């Protein structure tokens, strides 16, 4: 299905569950103290804390992560989720994005 159909369904599901969310939230760019409308729109901001960026693509690409990171940095949020609905199992299409996150699963450098 199209991303817009998934957006409608997800909005309905969040309403049913009583979550506070804003859909297609405008995100201005502030330049030298002036808010500029550059056309950024966030798919969802949930509970004023988590940005959801929806996709219906073959695979999440680095450009999608960069898009979400830009939104997080401009808006001051600390966590976002990329949700790609074009996968057989939805949990395999969800990627958590956190600015300045250090991957703790990476091997540690030996202590000297």
pLDDT of residue 48: 96
Domain boundaries, the chain: 3-97
SS (H, E, C) 49-112: CEEEEEECCCCCCHHHHHHHHHHHHHHCCCEEEEEECCCCCHHHHEEEECCCCCCCCCCCCCCC
SS (H, E, C) 5-16: HHHHHHHHHHHH
Asked whether the whole model's pTM tops 0.85, one would answer no
CA distances to 35, 60, 96 from 71, rounded to whole Å, are 15, 16, 14
pLDDT of residue 35: 86
Q: Classify residue 4 by its DSSP letter.
A: H
Q: How confident is the model at residue 103 (pLDDT cuts 50, 70, 90)?
A: low
Nearest CA to 10 out of 83, 70, 96, 61 is that of: 83
Q: What is the pLDDT of residues 9-35, one digit of tens each?
A: 999 999 999 999 999 999 988 889 898
pLDDT of residue 111: 46
Please compute the mean of the pLDDT values over residues 72-82 and round it to a whole number.
94
Give the sign of the dihedral formed by CA 15, CA 16, CA 20, CA 24: negative
Q: How confident is the model at residue 82 (pLDDT cuts 50, 70, 90)?
A: very high
| Domain at 3-97: CATH code | 3.90.320.10
Percent of the chain beyond pLDDT 90? 78
pLDDT of residue 38: 85
């Amino acid at each position: 299905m199209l991303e817009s159909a998934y957006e409608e369904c997800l909005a309905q599901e969040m309403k049913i569950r009583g979550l506070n969310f804003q859909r297609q939230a405008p995100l201005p760019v502030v330049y030298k103290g002036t808010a500029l409308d550059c056309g950024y729109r966030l798919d969802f901001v949930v509970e004023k804390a988590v940005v959801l960026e929806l996709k219906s693509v073959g695979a999440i690409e680095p450009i999608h992560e960069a898009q979400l990171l830009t939104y997080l940095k401009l808006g001051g949020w600390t966590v976002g989720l990329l949700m790609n609905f074009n996968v057989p199992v939805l949990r395999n299409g969800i990627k958590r994005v956190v600015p300045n996150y250090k991957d703790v699963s990476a091997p540690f450098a030996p202590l000297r």
